[in-house]
Amino acid sequence: MDGELSFLYASAFTEIGRSLSDEAFEQIEALRPLDPDAPVGPYLYSNVMDDLDFGNADFLFDTRSN
């Protein structure tokens, strides 16, 4: 299901992208001033979160049997 959903999203975005005029495409590109490959940190929904401090989380990775 995840693969199918990803395919449908990619297909829809491709179809939309192909339907845009050069001017419309430039306007949309101007809305996205950041490089999408540049790491900016973790997200909560669509908002970039500030640095997270989880404290000591070593207990989550303890491989010893109790």
**Is 24 domain-assigned?**
yes
pLDDT tens by residue, 13-66: 999 999 999 999 999 888 877 776 776 778 778 788 887 777 888 888 877 655
pTM for the predicted model, two decimal places: 0.43
In the chain, how many domains are there? 1
| Beta-strand pair 43-44/47-48 | antiparallel
**Is 66 domain-assigned?**
no
In this prediction, residue 6 carries a pLDDT of 93
Q: Which residues contact 21 (CB under 8 A, 6 or more apart)?
A: none
Which domain covers residue 11, as residue numbers?
2-61
**Is 35 domain-assigned?**
yes
